[in-house]
Amino acid sequence: MVETSEQVRPLAPASDRPISSDDEEAAVTGTRRRRWVKCCGCIGAVILVQAIVVVVLIFTVFKVKEPIIRMNAVTVERLELIAGTTTPRPGSNMTLNADVSVKNPNYASFKYQNTTTALFYRGSEIGEARGPPGRARARRTMRMNITVDVMTDRILSQPDLRSDINSGLIAISSYTRVGGRVKMFIIKKHVTVTMNCTITINATSQAIQQQKCKRKVKL
């Protein structure tokens, strides 16, 4: 057997190989990239959760709700009658005072414009009044008194007036309109509330005998 003059040296284990600068740079870059991806993922998750919370609040707690308008009471302030009768004096006016409230169930104020109230008798308009603009604070109720001057001449011109007077009851209908805006953060919602009421007045006591109201909201 022939012996070689030089012995073959065994290869060094792979783990003992020296690491080059390129390998070190690649490892550092990979670590930084993973950290950056994790950081971006965390930030994105937080933003997504916040967006979901805002959307849920907008459609639940901060959802724009319709204001509620009510005709609390109507009183006859002045009605001049012919002596000994229940017939209004020609040329005189009858004054009605309407107690109207606007309830705002929203978490933002409801700013409304001029309110309009019209009175009708047998389909003919007999009076109209306008209330000043105002603001109903968040989750509060705003009350206002509206004075309506009724033109009795238009009532006297109705052919069915005598039969109504003989019955002791006069039915008058009213129409009230309130338009405004609710602003919730960046959301602005225009709201119009209308209410139709049928009011029955006792011709003798001049008191309200019966009142029925229906309201309609347009968002």
Do 126 and 199 fall within a single domain? yes
- Give SS3 for 104: coil
45 and 73 assigned to the same domain: no
Answer yes or no: do 117 and 141 share one domain: yes
CA distance 186 to 193: 22
Residue 167 clears pLDDT 80, i.e. is over it: yes
Decide which of 59, 82, 107 is a domain's last residue: 59
Is 12 within the bounds of a domain?
no
Instruction: Say if 131 falls within a structural domain.
Output: yes
Q: Which of 59, 83, 106 is the last residue of a domain?
A: 59
162 has a pLDDT exceeding 70:
yes
Same domain for 52 and 151, yes or no, is no
Is 13 contained in some domain?
A: no
How many domains does the chain contain in total?
2
Q: Quick one: 87 and 155 in the same domain?
A: yes
The reply to whether 51 and 96 lie within a common domain is no
Domain range for 203 is 68-218
Of 179, 114, 112, 100, nearest in space to 147 by CA = 100
CB contact at 8 A, 181 and 190: yes
Please tell me the least confidently modeled range out of 11-15, 43-47, 154-158, 178-182: 11-15
Alpha-carbon gap, residue 21 to 85, rounded angstroms: 115
| pLDDT of 50 above 80 | no
Which CATH number covers residue 178? 2.60.40.10
Give tens-digit pLDDT for 60-111.
656 777 788 887 777 777 666 666 665 666 666 678 888 888 888 888 888 8
In a domain, 7, yes or no: no
Do 73 and 175 reside in the same domain of the chain?
A: yes
Query: Which range has the worst mean pLDDT, 77-91, 121-135, 175-189?
Result: 77-91
Q: For residues 99 and 184, state if they share a domain.
A: yes
If you write DSSP's letter for every residue of 150-205 in order, what string do you get?
EEHHHHHT-TTHHHHHHHTEEEEEEEEEEEEEEEETTEEEEEEEEEEEEEEEETTT
Are 41 and 83 within one domain?
A: no
Among the ranges 32-41, 118-127, 182-191, which has the highest mean pLDDT value? 118-127
Q: Is position 10 within any domain?
A: no
- Residues 173, 81, single domain; the answer is yes
140 and 204, same structural domain? Answer: yes
Residue 81 in domain: yes
Instruction: Using a pLDDT cut of 70, give the percent of the chain over it.
Output: 72
Name the domain boundary from 8, 32, 59.
59
Task: Give the separation between CA 22 and CA 110, rounded to whole angstroms.
Answer: 67
Question: Residue 189 in contact with residue 195, Cβ under 8 Å?
Answer: no
Backbone phi, then psi, for 81, in 5-degree steps?
-110, 155
pLDDT attached to residue 120: 92
Residue 3: inside a domain: no
Specify the higher pLDDT residue, 57 or 112. 112
Residues 153 and 86 in one domain: yes
Least confident of 37-41, 80-84, 127-131, 155-159: 80-84
